[in-house]
Amino acid sequence: MRPHASVLHLDLDAFFAAVEQRDKPSLRGKPVIVGGIGPRGVVSTASYEARTFGVHSAMPMHEARRRCPHAAFLSGRFGAYRAASGIVMGLLRELSPLVEPLSLDEAFVDLAVGERSLEPGAVLAEVAALKLRLAEATGGLTASVGVGSSKFIAKVATELAKPDGVRLVAPGTEVEVIAPLPARAIPGIGPVTMEKLARLGVSNVADLQRLSPRELVRELGRAQGEWIAALAFARDDRPVEPDRETKSISVEDTFETDVTDRMALDAVVERDATGVARRLSAAGLFARTITLKARYPDFTTLTRSRTLDGATDAAETIAAVARVLLDTIDVPRGLRLLGVGVAGLTESAQEALFELAPVEPGERSPVERGATPAVNPSGPDQLNQGEVENRASAGVEFVEDSGLTHTGVPTMARRPAGYRPGDDVVHDEQGAGWVWGTGLGRVTVRFETAETGPGPVRTFAVDDPALRPAQG
């Protein structure tokens, strides 16, 4: 164990939703939910205003709508998220060359490099300066920061600091700090494992500390039992691993509650496949091998892969193969993690020797489907009556970062790809704004930006030549 609290963990607060609130003044202080905006979608991020209604990530979107019907439901803008993430990661690399990004909004930093003082006061002052610079550089985003003697303790400290706080766990106090926490605070303890531990009288970490490693191994198996026994006493010597040469690309979702709904998991697969495809395209790469990673509640992790005859960067191909691989997973058992990845990267595409299976009978392609309003009308900013009725009846499925938002309602009109709820648009006369809702051949736009106050709402024909998606 390290003698100093020198591992920093940073987690941007409600990141996707916070970026939307930053860029959309009318949504500041209001519940915002980002993710799959239809009944088959899942919540990616909920603002803290939405969390007070019980909405959380990985929740089915239909449940989020039931709990918080007055929220703004947005499909996400990965360009904006990636830009903000790049600023934050750059600030972290100014602190230390040893930065381990976990996702767009989360990273570990090893502070035990260079000539800095590792005394708690000096570290806390450095963190305070970092948070100020982060807020200034990102236009007001906030982050929770934890510092500890290991990755585990730093991440626990971040959870204790949320939202927008700082917590440093002094070396020597780790066991005392984690003792009152729920046993689920330890990575690897999901619902199934918790059921087994409950039979031993375990409810919090202090209860785990009273058990011997032998008891845990007997109940959970050697690998998981030894892992949990070590973390119960804050023993974690994993190093902070900085970026390496890209040999594979993957996107993973860890769910707050175990997911058994196959349709919700299919939506996650499509969203993650789109994210992987975007990263492939940005890097100018193609992939021959597609991988699906799944983790059960007891922390058992499975990986399934398929190698193509050719190389691809197409989201549709990656998603189709990943869905086939998901067929081999025991979904009713529940999943706490699901991820899509690619490997076998090459700089040239190759023609596949076979075609993917066609769309199943009765299933329509995304371009044959329409969309529905993103925000429930309230006050003076009303959709017309047809759009209000359509909002109540239409179901929308979201494919993250793909430009596709579609519904199974046959009477819905087609609309151009890119007019998704929350997307940035420009009108020749009205200027910059964002898509407030679409449907029935129309698109409703709120004209405002991060630099303006809340702006007016206007509705246009979906093919209005004066309206177009914003560039970038």
User: Tell me, what's the pLDDT at 59?
Assistant: 86
The boundaries of every CATH 3.30.1490.100 domain in the chain are: 249-346
User: Tell me, what's the pLDDT at 254?
Assistant: 83
What does the block give as tokens for 30? Answer: 């209001």
d(CA 234, CA 11): 20
What does the block give as tokens for 115? Answer: 């000539």
Residue ranges of the chain whose pLDDT lies below 70 = 38-40, 243-246, 347-418, 472
Residue 119 designated active-site: no
Q: Catalytic residue among 20, 106, 316, 448, which?
A: 106
User: In terms of CATH, what superfamily is 187-231?
Assistant: 5' to 3' exonuclease, C-terminal subdomain (1.10.150.20)
Return the SS3 of 164.
coil
pLDDT tens, position by position, 42-94: 888 999 999 999 999 878 888 999 999 999 999 888 889 989 999 999 999 99
What does the block give as tokens for 255? Answer: 């769910």
- What is the bridge-based pairing of β-strands 286-295 and 335-346? antiparallel
User: Tell me, what's the pLDDT at 403?
Assistant: 27
Q: What angle do CA 351, 313, 424 make, to 5 degrees?
A: 140
The torsion angles phi and psi of 190, rounded to 5 degrees, stand at -105, -170
The boundaries of every CATH 1.10.150.20 domain in the chain are: 187-231
d(CA 156, CA 158): 5
CATH 3.40.50.2000 for the 249-346 domain, yes or no: no
User: Tell me, what's the pLDDT at 349?
Assistant: 58
**Inter-CA distances, 110 with 133, 239, 381, 390, 397, Å:** 19, 8, 49, 52, 40
User: Tell me, what's the pLDDT at 350?
Assistant: 52
What does the block give as tokens for 113? Answer: 């490099």
The boundaries of every CATH 3.30.70.270 domain in the chain are: 1-174
pLDDT tens, position by position, 175-219: 999 999 999 999 878 777 898 999 999 999 999 999 999 999 999
Level-2 CATH architecture, domain 1-174: 2-Layer Sandwich (3.30)
User: Tell me, what's the pLDDT at 237?
Assistant: 92
User: Tell me, what's the pLDDT at 409?
Assistant: 24
User: Tell me, what's the pLDDT at 404?
Assistant: 25
d(CA 328, CA 360): 19
Which secondary-structure segment (H or E) carries 398? strand 396-399
